[in-house]
């Protein structure tokens, strides 16, 4: 067995590194340097790194996939993902046995990288997002279902994941295939008792396996701070809609209370006051963005002033209801008299709905503003209405969540004595000392910066309440 194979065959990380150091103790011959490239693909991340550093120091020329793999081994993930020959390697990296390595790739990888349902499933596997995996499974054909179950089964192997992730993948496998179809090793993972939660410990947000997104980390922090309700600190459970992405509260469901009751019962933390901010007409802003970006209407068509009042004559609330019915595929306008612009708007709306359905059936689903694909089964009535609803609602949620997260980061960077304290539909409540008069302007500007981030063609404005 040659020296390269001895390094690869070493049983542990320490043994691999020791064998490699012994190999390079003497200056390697050109033939050995050329063969060293094979160790860039070794399962051991520490060995890959040492090999990549050595090859770079020795100025060994690398091309194609070898060059891309060296970037991966060095942890240069942005360059790795952007490399023209890296695509198969990126997909393979999503199955790396070390979750921290997978997380490094995910930190620079967007969901739009995935071109097929198989790649989407692999992406969600790497994220340990088992609900999303189940969703892809339920809408897939037999070949895709087999791929996902094989992926999950592989993820339960001891050398592939941490014990926590192995149990999570085993639970997902049971949900999809049934306990009776599980291998004994997988079933044993589920029979193993989970760690008990100590008495008195708060669990405001259901803990999920790492890796988690910045948004999930923020929600966990928000839940941990709790709310002051009727003068007492409590810890409602924060839930995120699987389709819409909206944040809601349970135990108690404070977003269901009338506004007067919320304002009276939800108090800011001691020594602070609430600054409340409302996104104005977020969903119409998302709809107009898609209509404009697909050239179904033009900016010159948009009249100034209130969007709803430009569409029809009548009570604003009635016009808003009629627009929502049309978005959801309904035809009853409730007696609303549409203006000339309103009729052009409705025609553009129907054209967009037709385009959504055509793209979905062709296997090219539209994505929300934040890049999430529209996963909607065609079974059932009003397929086009459901697609349109998920596009607009999901995009509004993407925009709102991104703006809130940007505000959270800004306040932390400034070490400001202010915190995001409560989320309500399109409202953000921020607690801050009363003697900070500049705070509202800073908050509004930070929230509205997302218009530039997403390049909205019809900006969404924020007002203080």
Residue 445 confidence (pLDDT): 92
Alpha-helical segments (H) within 294-425: 307-311, 316-327, 340-361, 383-413
Find out whether 204 and 223 touch, Cβ atoms under 8 Å.
yes
Contacts of 353-358 spanning 24+ positions with Cβ under 8 A? 353/329, 353/384, 353/385, 353/387, 353/388, 354/384, 355/294, 356/384, 356/387, 356/388, 356/391, 357/383, 357/384, 357/387
d(CA 251, CA 230): 14
In eight-state DSSP terms, residue 98 is: -
d(CA 270, CA 153): 50
Residue 197 confidence (pLDDT): 39
Secondary structure tally for the chain: helices H, strands E: 22, 11
Residue 200 confidence (pLDDT): 43
Closest CA to 89 of 99, 371, 79: 79
- Tell me the pLDDT tens digit for each residue of 71-97: 888 888 888 888 888 889 888 888 888
For residue 198, pLDDT over 70 is answered with no
Predicted structure pTM score: 0.55
Across 34-40, average pLDDT: 86
Longest CA span, the chain: 88
Across 23-38, average pLDDT: 83
- Tell me the pLDDT tens digit for each residue of 333-376: 667 788 888 888 889 888 998 888 888 888 888 888 888 888 77
In eight-state DSSP terms, residue 382 is: -
Provide the mean pLDDT of the chain: 83
Residues of the chain with CATH 3.30.70.370: 214-281+397-464
Supply 169's token pair: 């993948």
d(CA 121, CA 128): 10
CA angle, residues 210, 126, 121, in degrees to nearest 5: 135
For residue 384, pLDDT over 80 is answered with yes
Supply 67's token pair: 């060059």
CA angle, residues 111, 114, 115, in degrees to nearest 5: 140
Handedness of CA 92, 98, 104, 106 (dihedral sign): positive
Instruction: Report in angstroms the alpha-carbon separations of 293 from 110, 287, 288, 296, 326.
Output: 21, 10, 8, 8, 20
Supply 180's token pair: 């009776």
Across 429-438, average pLDDT: 82
How is domain 214-281+397-464 classified at the architecture level of CATH?
2-Layer Sandwich (3.30)
Pairing between strand 247-250 and 237-240? antiparallel
Supply 177's token pair: 């295939």
Contacts of 288 (CB under 8 A, 6+ apart): 297, 302, 307, 457, 458
CA angle, residues 100, 218, 113, in degrees to nearest 5: 50
Find out whether 23 and 55 touch, Cβ atoms under 8 Å.
no
- Tell me the pLDDT tens digit for each residue of 114-160: 889 999 999 988 888 887 788 788 888 889 999 998 998 888 888 88
3-state secondary structure 264-298: HHEECCCCCEEEEEEEECHHHHHHHHHHHHCCCCC
Pairing between strand 237-240 and 419-424? unpaired
Find out whether 464 and 306 touch, Cβ atoms under 8 Å.
no
Looking at the DSSP bridge assignments, the partners of residue 422 are: 429
Residue 118 confidence (pLDDT): 92
d(CA 379, CA 134): 18
């Amino acid at each position: 067995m040659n020296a390269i194979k001895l390094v690869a065959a070493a049983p542990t990380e320490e043994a691999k590194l020791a064998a490699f150091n012994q190999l390079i103790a003497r200056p390697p011959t050109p033939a050995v340097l050329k063969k060293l490239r094979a160790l860039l693909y070794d399962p051991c991340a520490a060995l890959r790194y040492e090999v990549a550093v050595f090859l770079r120091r020795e100025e060994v020329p690398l091309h194609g996939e070898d060059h891309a793999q060296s970037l991966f081994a060095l942890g240069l993930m942005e360059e790795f993902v952007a490399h023209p020959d890296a695509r198969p390697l990126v997909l393979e990296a999503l199955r790396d046995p070390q979750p921290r390595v997978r997380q490094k790739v995910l930190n620079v990888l967007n969901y739009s990288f995935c071109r097929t349902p198989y790649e989407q499933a692999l992406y969600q596997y790497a994220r340990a997002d088992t609900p999303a995996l189940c969703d892809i499974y339920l809408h897939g054909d037999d070949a895709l279902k087999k791929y996902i179950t094989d992926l999950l089964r592989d993820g339960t192997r001891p050398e592939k994941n941490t014990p926590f992730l192995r149990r999570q993948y085993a639970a997902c496998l049971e949900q999809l295939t049934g306990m009776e179809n599980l291998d004994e090793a997988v079933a044993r993972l589920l029979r193993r008792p989970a760690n008990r939660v100590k008495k008195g410990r708060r669990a405001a947000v259901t803990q999920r396996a790492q890796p988690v997104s910045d948004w999930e980390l923020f929600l966990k922090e928000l839940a941990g701070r709790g709310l002051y309700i009727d003068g007492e600190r409590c810890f409602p459970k924060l839930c995120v809609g699987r389709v819409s992405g909206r944040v809601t509260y349970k135990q108690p469901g404070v977003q269901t209370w009338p506004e007067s009751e919320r304002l009276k019962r939800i108090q800011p933390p001691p020594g602070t006051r609430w600054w409340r901010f409302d996104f104005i007409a977020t969903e119409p802003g998302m709809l107009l963005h898609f209509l404009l970006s697909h050239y179904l209407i033009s900016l010159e068509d948009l009249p100034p002033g209130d969007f709803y009042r430009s569409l029809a004559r009548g009570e604003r609330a009635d016009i808003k209801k009629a627009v929502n019915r049309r978005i959801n595929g309904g035809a009853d306008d409730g007696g609303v008299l549409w203006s000339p612009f309103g009729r052009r708007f409705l025609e553009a709306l129907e054209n967009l709905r037709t385009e959504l359905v055509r793209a979905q059936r062709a296997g090219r689903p539209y994505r929300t503003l934040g890049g999430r694909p529209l996963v909607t089964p065609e079974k059932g009535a009003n397929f086009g209405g459901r697609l349109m609803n998920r596009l607009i609602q999901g995009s509004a949620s993407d925009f709102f969540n991104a703006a809130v997260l940007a505000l959270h980061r800004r306040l932390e960077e400034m070490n400001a004595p202010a915190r995001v304290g409560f989320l309500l539909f399109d409202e953000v409540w921020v607690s801050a000392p009363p003697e900070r008069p500049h705070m509202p302007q800073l908050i509004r500007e930070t929230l509205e910066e997302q218009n530039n981030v997403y390049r909205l063609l019809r900006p969404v404005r924020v007002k203080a309440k």
